[in-house]
Amino acid sequence: MNYKNIVISGGGILGSQIAFQSAYCGFNVTILIRQEDSKSDVESKLDKLVNTYKETIEVMANEGVDSPNWARGISNKDNFNKEECLNRVDNARNTIKIETDQQVALGDSDLVIESITENFDVKTAFYKQIAPLLPEKTVVVTNSSTLLPSKLSKSTGRPNKYLSLHFANSIWKNNIAEVMKHSGTEDKYFNELIAFAEAINMIPLAAKGEKSGYLLNSMLVPFLLSGMDLLANGISDPETIDKAWTYGTGAPKGPFQIIDTVGLETAKNIVLQYQKVPDVFDPLLKKMMLPYNYDGMLRILNEYIDAGKKGKSVGEGFYKYDE
């Protein structure tokens, strides 16, 4: 694995996290965005990540290796060095580039990580746009949480060098990376992505066969939809639904607390994808997803989004958060 120059397409919640974690681990990172007026928003996300990483490092130093708040993506327990970690945070922030010019961003890219909206048509249009600009060496991956790589691969112009690399939110502590190939992916690039995931302090989870929702979201998305379905049908309110789950299972968060963390716009995109149940999903999943009250979910999510309540990142979603 000789990757050096990493391009992240999309500066949203996960895109900015992937970019920051990659830069923290020493890679040259460029965030590719569509419009110049989005730059300040991306800068703000990166600044918040600086604070989050530094605060986490302080907690790790104060509480020691037995801390329940240990962030594996920042350091393993065997060679933790507070000052070195803090320096790496500053270096990451200072070296990340934000670019709107696709040719400039992609010209010497070794790996492009697409982390744009969870929409099949948007993703395929993006791939077709960048395909002529990519060097022969470039490997392209999607951070899609639901779409199958085989359905997207032809639009990249390099299906043998295309696969999925999906991250969990808050990757500095939830440091997993699902690596999923399709039938046309060469094993060489699958193995390279496993190595890259390890190089940015992730735990690679190999998926050698395709599955809608991959590993994590095959379990998580039905859980979130079930919670939203209870609300959409007027069965209960978000706080009570969350309590049913957290008090009943001992889990740290319920469905609406998780939705606030990932963002309500992301939740809306997921609902839209499952509502359509297109051919990118496998037949069993389509059958599972059909009974939900999707219209009710979308109505509620749109009300919150239109009111500016987009989730924890903006201070309010289903819950209010202190800045």
Average of pLDDT values for 133-143?
A: 97
Q: Percentage helix, strand, coil, to 5, in the chain?
A: 55, 10, 35
Residues in contact with 86: Cβ distance below 8 Å, sequence separation at least 6, in sequence order: 54, 57
What percent of the chain clears pLDDT 90, i.e. is strictly above it? 79
Average of pLDDT values for 268-291?
A: 65
**Banded pLDDT at 280 (limits 50, 70, 90):** very low
Average of pLDDT values for 273-286?
A: 58
* Domains of the chain, residue spans: 5-207, 219-314
In whole numbers, what is the pLDDT of the chain averaged over residues? 92
Provide φ and ψ at 142, rounded to 5°. Answer: -110, 140
The secondary structure element, H or E, covering residue 59 is helix 39-63
Average of pLDDT values for 106-135?
A: 95
Q: Which residues of 227-258 are buried (b: 16+ CB within 10 A; e: fewer)?
A: bbbbbbeeeeebeebbeebeeeeeeeebbbbb
Residue 307, exposed/middle/buried by CB under 10 A (0-12, 13-18, 19+)? exposed
- pTM of the predicted model as reported, rounded to 2 decimal places: 0.77
Q: Do domains 5-207 and 219-314 have the same CATH topology?
A: no
Residue 313 has pLDDT above 60, yes or no: yes
Residue 200 has pLDDT above 50, yes or no: yes
Q: Looking at residue 291, what is its pLDDT?
A: 76
Residue 281 has pLDDT above 90, yes or no: no
Q: Looking at residue 95, what is its pLDDT?
A: 97
Residue 24 has pLDDT above 60, yes or no: yes
Average of pLDDT values for 120-126?
A: 94
Ranking 44-58, 76-90, 140-154 by mean pLDDT, the lowest is: 140-154
Q: How many of the other CB atoms lie within 10 Å of CB of 48?
A: 14
**Banded pLDDT at 99 (limits 50, 70, 90):** very high
**Banded pLDDT at 145 (limits 50, 70, 90):** confident
Q: Looking at residue 1, what is its pLDDT?
A: 76
Residue 276 has pLDDT above 90, yes or no: no
**Banded pLDDT at 286 (limits 50, 70, 90):** low
CATH architecture type of domain 219-314: Orthogonal Bundle (1.10)
List the CATH code of the domain at 5-207.
3.40.50.720
pLDDT tens digits for range 212-255: 778 888 888 889 999 999 999 999 999 999 999 999 999 999 99
Residues in contact with 66: Cβ distance below 8 Å, sequence separation at least 6, in sequence order: none
The secondary structure element, H or E, covering residue 166 is strand 162-167
Mapped onto helix, strand or coil, the DSSP state of residue 69 is coil
